[in-house]
């Protein structure tokens, strides 16, 4: 029990509450992983059999770290806990129970590229316009349906979905969905969404299986519960129904994955499912300075939908948060790069102490250019991962085919690589024959004389080679099997003979893969070490598990979504402009805008010691220079925590008037020369330098349904102003208002909270 001594009172209470439904609301940097780890250790110390504990996470990395910590506390017993991502845990369960839903136990798990390849083939066969039926759109549509537990049959019977498809000219979506599911089934394959969809199907249609796992998993813990979708929510609820020893951990303020199907209502309404729920709030932030925490709190306070908590820090007050203004996106990159260079040299820091976070991947360009000019090493996260490289996918396709010869995508990838005289026409004939006879392409290949009029001479040798791999895999280790396949498939020889720089890199990548498999074979924390198990681990890697080499001494560049779960001593959040952050797409509803604000909260709370925010007053978009205004989120920060750094000057001009500076800078740009507006209509850009307005004593938001041009209004932050124009239709009417203190600003009326002062 010594480990309990290192916990604060609320952490200790959460760890010791092992029975009944529990919700742990874990603020950013509050020691969430530590609490989950200690709670599992406490369950085991209290006599709970590790085989009866299920812990669900969202990344393999998180599961691995937790298991290692638990092993440190309770020893080898931690190996017996069912712990991993939703997809890895239920893939393991489906391996055992797959026959009950008509799948082989050695089913293949398709990644996104595999799914897209299947869909491309289907669209081609159906002669559909790939511009109307874009593969990404189709796949996302199918994924959304599965995550909401809508089968292809239910999809085709849903009148609303059918109406949406026909109105958009995509009336064949239901048939594509059906064909895709059947094609995967024939190949003995499941995609990522199937792992949860099929688990729900299994638990729904087989009460005996549900009863088995309800009594096996007597204690459930779910990490990052705010990120669960409907499918995940239902699985957890079903499994916990008998014992109700369920503990969910999460932070509604960090729910940022609605675009993946995550439903924040799962955590907001958790108490409705479990009226006897005990709630613990981890509110002490151990990561960030007081100023950073205060800024985060002042931002998230603007959200209506939230579980109230009072996050605080007892660390040093720290520097105030610097807000930097640039006159272009390129200048913004220059300011950030110079800031990193200066901070590193004056404080003796490493490059990996710095991270630059942005809303969209496209923003990395100006940052990269500025860093390169100063010779600052950097790495972009979220690019092509190691396991997505062609040579890696080629060899892994051989592995997949070894364990599941019905895997059509793997077969098509390697049947003629390295080249062995089985061309595209032959492959097409094999697939056509398989469709005609209702069998798999592999069955056609192994019985080519029966099903093909002209079989390529190399086909029998290819079949024999794959069969030899299958025999070897039954007796040899993962590494020995992988090395044998790499050598005898011809992949290693093909890459070794390519003496170009790219060829050398590809050969080295294959060696690195083999090294990884050897390391896997020698791990002590797992019992099953066959190549098939390694393959499943690779297939289930999440984006957060790939290429996160944070120890490399480079500045990290990534989207804010990619940064979740990470922390850095110094963080720069760039591009804080309206229609960029918050994004233009988020301004259609309050729920979307609140998710953008939560995303900003996540960005802020990645910083440990120093946080800098920046925006540009103009930016190129689709080749056109556009003027930008500062993000509304900057206006929501309490000014006492900010340090304004507006020292950046435009390329030409020395005027103290901001608008003159902007126009002068625009004239100097060689790509675009917008004409300055006449003096009478020049716009004074909103400035967070303006003194905070104190609302009038009788201030109360008015009904703006009948707001008209000429009316005087009061805004609780911007002060008094006059409506000078209005545009749009209900409920998205925008009003342009000239405020006495800060100048002209355009507001969406449904969110503006205006008090009407006079009618003229």
Asked if 495 contacts 503 with a C-beta cutoff of 8 angstroms, the reply is yes
| Helix, strand, coil percentages for the chain (3-state, nearest 5) | 50, 15, 35
Asked if 568 contacts 610 with a C-beta cutoff of 8 angstroms, the reply is no
The one catalytic residue in 198, 606, 619, 662 is 606
Rg (C-alpha) for the chain, rounded Å, is 29
Binding residues for ATP: 26-33
Asked if 658 contacts 669 with a C-beta cutoff of 8 angstroms, the reply is no
Sheet of strand 607-616: strand arrangement:
378-380, 555-559, 354-358, 568-573, 607-616, 321-326, 642-645
- The verdict on whether 487 is a catalytic residue reads no
Which 8-state DSSP code applies to residue 154?
Answer: H
- The verdict on whether 685 is a catalytic residue reads no
The one catalytic residue in 199, 254, 481, 536 is 254
The one catalytic residue in 97, 165, 193, 224 is 224
Beta strands in 337-399 (DSSP E): 354-358, 378-380
- The verdict on whether 368 is a catalytic residue reads no
From CA 118, how far away is CA 409, in angstroms rounded?
A: 7
- The verdict on whether 32 is a catalytic residue reads yes
Asked if 126 contacts 176 with a C-beta cutoff of 8 angstroms, the reply is yes
- The verdict on whether 475 is a catalytic residue reads no
| Residue bearing tokens 């000078």 | 724
Cβ atoms within 10 Å of 258's Cβ, excluding its own: 16
Asked if 143 contacts 193 with a C-beta cutoff of 8 angstroms, the reply is yes
Give DSSP secondary structure letters for 501-515. Answer: HHHHHHHHHHHHHHH
**Residue of 533, 412, 541 lying closest to 482 (CA atoms):** 533
Alpha-carbon distance values, 429 to 101, 406, 441, 459 (Å): 30, 16, 10, 13
Residue 243 CA to its chain's centroid (Å): 32
Asked if 178 contacts 139 with a C-beta cutoff of 8 angstroms, the reply is no
- Burial, 234: exposed, middle or buried (Cβ in 10 Å; 0-12, 13-18, 19+)? middle
Binding residues: 26-33
Q: Is the dihedral of CA 544, 550, 554, 560 positive or negative?
A: positive
From CA 164, how far away is CA 160, in angstroms rounded?
A: 6
From CA 527, how far away is CA 523, in angstroms rounded?
A: 9
**Residue of 581, 579, 575 lying closest to 595 (CA atoms):** 581
- The verdict on whether 33 is a catalytic residue reads yes
Write out the catalytic residue numbers: 32-33, 223-224, 254, 606
């Amino acid at each position: 029990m010594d480990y309990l001594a290192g916990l604060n009172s609320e952490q200790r209470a959460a760890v010791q509450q092992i029975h009944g439904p529990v919700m742990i609301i874990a603020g950013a940097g509050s020691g969430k992983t530590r609490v989950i780890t200690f709670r599992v250790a406490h369950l085991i110390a209290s006599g709970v059999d590790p085989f009866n504990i299920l812990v669900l996470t969202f990344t393999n990395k998180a599961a691995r770290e937790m298991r290692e910590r638990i092993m440190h506390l309770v020893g080898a017993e931690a190996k017996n806990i069912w712990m991993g991502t939703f997809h890895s845990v239920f893939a393991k369960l489906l391996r055992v129970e797959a026959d009950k839903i008509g799948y082989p136990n050695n089913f293949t798990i398709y990644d996104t590229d595999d799914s897209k390849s299947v869909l491309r083939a289907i669209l081609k066969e159906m002669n559909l316009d790939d511009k109307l039926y874009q593969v990404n759109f189709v796949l996302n549509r199918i994924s959304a349906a599965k995550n909401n537990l809508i089968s292809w049959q239910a999809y085709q019977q849903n009148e609303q979905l059918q109406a949406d498809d026909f109105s958009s000219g995509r009336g064949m979506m239901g048939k594509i969905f059906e064909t895709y599911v059947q094609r995967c089934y024939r190949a003995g394959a499941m995609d990522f969404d199937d792992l949860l969809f099929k688990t729900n199907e299994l638990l729904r249609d087989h009460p005996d299986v549900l009863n088995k796992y309800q009594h096996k998993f007597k204690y459930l813990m779910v990490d990052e519960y705010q990120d669960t979708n409907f499918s995940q929510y239902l699985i957890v609820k079903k499994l916990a129904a008998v014992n109700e020893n369920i503990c969910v951990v999460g932070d509604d303020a960090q729910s940022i994955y609605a675009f993946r199907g995550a439903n924040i209502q799962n955590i907001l309404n958790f108490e409705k499912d479990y009226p006897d729920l005990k709630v613990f709030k981890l509110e002490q932030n151990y990561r960030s300075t007081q100023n950073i925490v205060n800024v985060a709190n002042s931002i998230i306070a603007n959200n209506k939908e939230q579980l109230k908590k009072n996050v605080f820090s007892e660390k040093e007050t720290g520097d105030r948060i610097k807000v930097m203004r640039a006159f272009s996106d390129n200048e913004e990159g220059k300011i950030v790069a110079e800031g990193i260079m200066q901070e590193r040299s004056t404080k003796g820091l490493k490059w990996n102490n710095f991270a630059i976070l942005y809303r969209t991947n496209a923003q990395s360009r100006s940052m990269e250019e500025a860093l390169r000019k100063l010779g600052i090493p950097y790495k972009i996260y979220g690019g092509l991962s190691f396991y997505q490289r062609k040579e890696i996918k080629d060899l892994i396709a051989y592995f997949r085919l070894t364990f599941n010869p019905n895997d059509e995508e793997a077969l098509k990838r390697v049947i003629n690589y390295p080249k062995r005289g089985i061309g595209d026409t032959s492959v097409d004939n094999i697939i056509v024959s398989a469709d005609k006879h209702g069998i798999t392409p592999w069955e056609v290949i192994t019985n080519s004389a029966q099903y093909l009029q002209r079989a390529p001479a190399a086909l029998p040798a290819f079949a024999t080679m794959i069969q030899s791999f299958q025999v070897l895999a039954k007796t040899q280790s993962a590494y020995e099997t992988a090395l044998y396949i790499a050598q005898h498939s011809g992949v290693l020889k093909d890459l070794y003979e390519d003496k170009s720089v790219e060829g050398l890199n590809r050969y080295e990548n294959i060696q690195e893969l083999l090294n990884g498999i050897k390391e896997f074979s020698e791990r002590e924390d797992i019992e099953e070490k066959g190549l098939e198990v390694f393959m499943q681990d690779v297939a289930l890697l999440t984006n957060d598990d790939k290429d996160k080499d944070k120890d490399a001494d480079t500045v990290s560049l990534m989207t804010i979504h990619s940064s979740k779960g990470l922390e850095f001593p110094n963080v720069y959040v760039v591009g804080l402009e309206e229609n960029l952050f918050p994004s233009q797409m988020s301004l259609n509803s309050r729920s979307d805008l609140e998710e953008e604000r939560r995303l900003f909260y996540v960005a802020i709370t990645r910083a440990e010691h120093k946080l800098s925010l920046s925006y540009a007053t103009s930016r190129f978009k689709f080749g056109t220079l556009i003027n930008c205004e500062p993000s509304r989120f900057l206006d929501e920060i309490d000014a006492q925590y900010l340090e304004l750094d507006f020292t950046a000057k435009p390329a030409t001009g020395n005027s103290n008037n901001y608008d003159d500076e902007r126009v002068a800078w625009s004239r100097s740009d060689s790509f675009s020369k917008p004409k300055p507006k006449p003096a009478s209509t020049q716009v004074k850009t909103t400035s967070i330098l303006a003194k905070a307005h104190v609302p009038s004593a009788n201030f109360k938001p008015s009904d703006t349904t009948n707001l008209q041009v000429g009316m005087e209004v009061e805004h609780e932050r911007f002060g008094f102003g006059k409506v000078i124009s209005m545009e749009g239709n209900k409920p998205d009417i925008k009003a342009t208002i000239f405020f006495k203190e800060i100048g002209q600003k355009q507001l969406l009326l449904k969110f503006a909270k205006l008090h009407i002062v006079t009618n003229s």
